[in-house]
Chain A
Amino acid sequence: MPFGNTHNNFKLNYKVEEEFPDLSKHNNHMAKALTKEIYAKLRDKQTPSGYTLDDVIQTGIDNPGHPFIMTVGCVAGDEESYEVFKDLLDPVISDRHGGYKPTDKHKTDLNFENLKGGDDLDPNYVLSSRVRTGRSIKGYTLPPHNSRGERRAIEKLAVEALTSLDGEFKGKYYPLKSMTDAEQEQLISDHFLFDKPVSPLLTCAGMARDWPDARGIWHNDSKTFLVWVNEEDHLRVISMQKGGNMREVFRRFCVGLQKIEEIFKKHNHGFMWNEHLGYILTCPSNLGTGLRGGVHVKLPKLSTHAKFEEILTRLRLQKRGTGGVDTASVGGVFDISNADRLGSSEVEQVQLVVDGVKLMVEMEKKLEKGEAIDSMIPAQK
């Protein structure tokens, strides 16, 4: 089990073959990358906080994956996991993030003024715009591993930082465990409330422990800037609004993030970041920018076009249903967002969304008029 250095030295009394997991039916990045040699090399290691290799991979052992969907199958327990277990995590990162090498450097750019356009997506098609990312607070272990004391300290610090915000960011914190029924109803209808994780991908990694202790939601009064505390990451930061003004969403996102970061730095608990992996988050899939910028967009005709998937791939975009990851689309409305996280900056990723969605809306309009779109299909970005 995560948390606590249980058994690790004790396990060393058994041979590698006896401990090595059976991954014969598995299809996830961890199962692809883990060999007996890597296991033998890393199994006696632990991070300074006591996180071990078996802790990293437990979720991937317990969730063999799906023939069509390649999950990551491993998590970090703290910042140092990415260093101590490099031999496993580097190949996982490379596989997940388009060949990203251990020597590559990641660019961070949260200067919203560098974004071109983005304020003119057609609201008849683009119903809403949203940008989210995660942040981890230096000096604390991550959700798979942290103790109740740490999680509470993170909450305390986060609430202090958030309640000091003013202007467009002035808002309120709703702790999950003391929310009233009325508050809960409201947060559900605003689509803000997050639930206790039921996905075994998360529960097997120990992220639902002690629920709902020290979990909560903060949002500004205008309900356009929202922070989740202690769900899958220390903080998930979300900027959103109805309509297609992605530029404004991104501006608020960047400004808000930077304000929050300043406050954490003042308390000597800045965000976890390094020049190779960018922002450090629990799941290796969210390294880099941790950013998912997307829209809910009506594409009933384009989505049934034979080349839809290819167009998305070339635009470096992905589709999801309107309930988020692992949901189906409803009424031809899709959640379209950037596929990349690591190796390109925030501005670059949001630019891809803005440009790509604009193009797809134009394609939709052409298809409505019965015209072909073959000449519009872009080259691979």
Chain B
Amino acid sequence: MANSFTRMITGRNTAVMMAMGAGTLASAFLLSDNTAAAERRRFYPPSADYPDLRKHNNCMALAMTPTIYAHLRDKATPNNWTLDQCIQTGVDNPGHPFIKTVGMVAGDEESYEVFAELFDPVIKDRHNGYDPRTMKHPTDLEASKITSGMFDERYVLSSRVRTGRSIRGLSLPPSCTRSERREVERVVVTALSGLKGDLAGRYYSLGEMNEREQQQLIDEHFLFDKPVSPLLTAAGMARDWPDARGIWHNNDKNFLIWINEEDHTRIISMEKGGNMKRVFERFCRGLKQVEHLIQERGWEFMWNENLGYILTCPSNLGTGLRAGVHIRLPFLSKDPRFKKIMENLRLQKRGTGGVDTAATGDTFDISNLDRLGKSEVELVQLVIDGVNYLIECEKRLERGQDIKIPSPISQFRK
């Protein structure tokens, strides 16, 4: 992993390179760089600091045990990120009886290794039993493999694919320093300025945009706001807002990148209508070009063969991909079998405002549930096949015909 680094670094200390190069063989450093930490360990054994999770319903709280806490409390990643910092958001946000949140975040790539004893069961819980110790995640961005990717536009209003990418060697949003965040912005914006043709575009820094630009971006549904969700703020992701945050989009306004929101980058391909195949094709092409452009300067994305693409939230590991449509399903959405059909197709519905919003009327946001254990091509195909099935059901119900619940799709590649 760390072997083919050549980075053009200006004014950087070699110590940084060595700390960054730890990668999958990250060693856990003990918090021994000051006597205060040693004193704390003496006066406060792990049991004194063990969080009260009795009212909690999130993956972290369900996986945490006093033994795990005792093993991991005094460890730190090479960037000095600790377990308590990973779990703070889950301690501060007990969760909801109906919605099981993840309850922990990574501060850097090495978090997933140093704190594996807790991350692994959380990943298993969230990703249908996926075991990072033994399983390999497939990455496949060959859009040409997609079939039937054109939806009936009487039902599908828009199509969208998003993912995230992290820049290897820089800490993640919960933990990054201002200079690291600014570095992410520089690296990505420089790379994006190299995009050409239908991908050529420009960058809008959140801190410097004028009122008119801001309104424009809001109207186009591109602008992201300072996070208000306590899930994100308790994890430290809103620090120093809006420093080094921004939005880039191409002139055609169908390829868009968020910089330094919940992840280093969020990459979005979208358009009105039902041409999911074209959306995905542009997505893959754009991603590959961006990756190539950053590699030219010696950078790369965080990725490994067990966890796929490394992102801040464990729920986004693997592909980090959410492919979805805004779709009208007036008959099907009222059918009592709707929920089960979605479940078996491994799809989820959200309101048209995105996660944690309600649907308006009969229009839903339908997307893949899974992220890890299946490739991008597999997941997008799953969404295409699933949405086509939903449209079929809708048409049948329109005609007064009956519909069938499909058999459940299997979790991982056999």
Task: Using CB atoms and an 8 Å cutoff, list the residues of chain A in contact with chain B.
Answer: 1, 3-11, 13-15, 18-22, 46-50, 54, 58, 61-62, 147-150, 152-153, 177, 203-204, 208-211, 213
Given contacts A4-B85, A148-B51, A48 and B36 within 8 Å (CB-CB): yes
In the assembled complex, the CB of A109 is this many whole angstroms from the nearest CB of chain B, namely: 35
Given contacts A147-B49, A208-B92, A211-B92, A21 and B243 within 8 Å (CB-CB): yes
Given contacts A7-B177, A21-B243, A148-B49, A209 and B91 within 8 Å (CB-CB): yes
In the assembled complex, the CB of B341 is this many whole angstroms from the nearest CB of chain A, namely: 40
Q: Report which of B16, B34, B88 forms a contact with A5, defined as CB distance below 8 A.
A: B34
Given contacts A5-B80, A7-B80, A19 and B179 within 8 Å (CB-CB): yes
Q: Is the CB of B50 within 8 A of A148?
A: yes
Q: Is the CB of B85 within 8 A of A14?
A: no
Residues in chain A near residue B241, CB distance under 8 A: 62
Residue ID in chain B nearest A50 by CB atoms: B36
Residues in chain A near residue B50, CB distance under 8 A: 148
Residue ID in chain B nearest A210 by CB atoms: B91
In the assembled complex, the CB of A79 is this many whole angstroms from the nearest CB of chain B, namely: 13
Interface contact tally, CB-CB below 8 A? 116
Q: B210-244: contact bitstring with A at CB < 8 Å (1 yes, 0 no)? A: 00000000000000000000000110101111010
Q: B176-216: contact bitstring with A at CB < 8 Å (1 yes, 0 no)? A: 01111011000000000000000000000001000000000
Q: Is the CB of B92 within 8 A of A177?
A: no
Residue ID in chain A nearest B183 by CB atoms: A18
Q: B22-48: contact bitstring with A at CB < 8 Å (1 yes, 0 no)? A: 000000000101111100100110001
Residues in chain A near residue B207, CB distance under 8 A: 22
Q: Does B97 contact A (CB under 8 A)?
A: no
Q: Is the CB of A9 within 8 A of B178?
A: no
CA distance A203 to B179 in the complex (A): 23
CA distance A150 to B180 in the complex (A): 31
Q: Does B84 contact A (CB under 8 A)?
A: yes
Main secondary structure of the interface of B (DSSP, over half): loop
Q: Is the CB of B15 within 8 A of A209?
A: no
Can you list 5 pairs linking A and B with CB atoms under 8 Å apart?
Answer: A21-B243, A46-B34, A152-B48, A211-B92, A213-B52
In the assembled complex, the CB of B130 is this many whole angstroms from the nearest CB of chain A, namely: 29
CA distance A3 to B48 in the complex (A): 15
Q: Is the CB of A18 within 8 A of B178?
A: yes
In the assembled complex, the CB of B85 is this many whole angstroms from the nearest CB of chain A, namely: 6
Residues in chain B near residue A47, CB distance under 8 A: 36
CA distance A6 to B175 in the complex (A): 8
Residues in chain A near residue B34, CB distance under 8 A: 5, 46, 48, 50
Given contacts A1-B88, A6-B81, A150 and B51 within 8 Å (CB-CB): no
In the assembled complex, the CB of A11 is this many whole angstroms from the nearest CB of chain B, namely: 5
CA distance A153 to B48 in the complex (A): 9
In the assembled complex, the CB of B184 is this many whole angstroms from the nearest CB of chain A, namely: 12
In the assembled complex, the CB of A286 is this many whole angstroms from the nearest CB of chain B, namely: 24
Q: Is the CB of A148 within 8 A of B48?
A: yes
CA distance A153 to B12 in the complex (A): 43
Residues in chain A near residue B48, CB distance under 8 A: 148-149, 152-153
Residue ID in chain B nearest A4 by CB atoms: B82
The 4 nearest A-B residue pairs measured at CB: A149-B48, A149-B44, A18-B179, A14-B179
CA distance A7 to B236 in the complex (A): 14
Residues in chain A near residue B40, CB distance under 8 A: 49, 147, 149
Q: Report which of B12, B84, B233, B234 forms a contact with A4, defined as CB distance below 8 A.
A: B84
Main secondary structure of the interface of A (DSSP, over half): loop
Q: Which of B16, B177, B182 has the most CB of A within 10 A?
A: B177
CA distance A259 to B7 in the complex (A): 64
CA distance A4 to B15 in the complex (A): 21
CA distance A204 to B92 in the complex (A): 13
Q: Report which of A13, A147, A210 forms a contact with B12, defined as CB distance below 8 A.
A: A13
Residues in chain B near residue A15, CB distance under 8 A: 11, 179
In the assembled complex, the CB of B126 is this many whole angstroms from the nearest CB of chain A, namely: 23
Q: Does B13 contact A (CB under 8 A)?
A: yes
Q: Does B289 contact A (CB under 8 A)?
A: no
Residue ID in chain B nearest A152 by CB atoms: B48
Q: Is the CB of B236 within 8 A of A61?
A: no
Q: Does B405 contact A (CB under 8 A)?
A: no
CA distance A46 to B36 in the complex (A): 10
Residues in chain A near residue B43, CB distance under 8 A: 149
Q: Is the CB of A62 within 8 A of B238?
A: yes
A sample of 12 more A-B contacts (CB under 8 A), given A10-B16, A14-B180, A149-B44, is A1-B175, A1-B239, A3-B85, A9-B33, A13-B13, A14-B179, A19-B178, A21-B178, A149-B40, A149-B43, A149-B49, A208-B92
Q: B43-82: contact bitstring with A at CB < 8 Å (1 yes, 0 no)? A: 1100011111000000000000000000000000001111
Residues in chain B near residue A13, CB distance under 8 A: 12-13, 15-16
Q: Does B1 contact A (CB under 8 A)?
A: no
Residues in chain B near residue A8, CB distance under 8 A: 80
Given contacts A11-B179, A22-B243, A209-B92, A6 and B85 within 8 Å (CB-CB): yes
> For residues 272 through 322 of chain B, which have their beta carbon under 8 Å from a beta carbon of chain A?
none
Q: Is the CB of A1 within 8 A of B174?
A: yes
Q: Does B2 contact A (CB under 8 A)?
A: no
Residue ID in chain A nearest B48 by CB atoms: A149
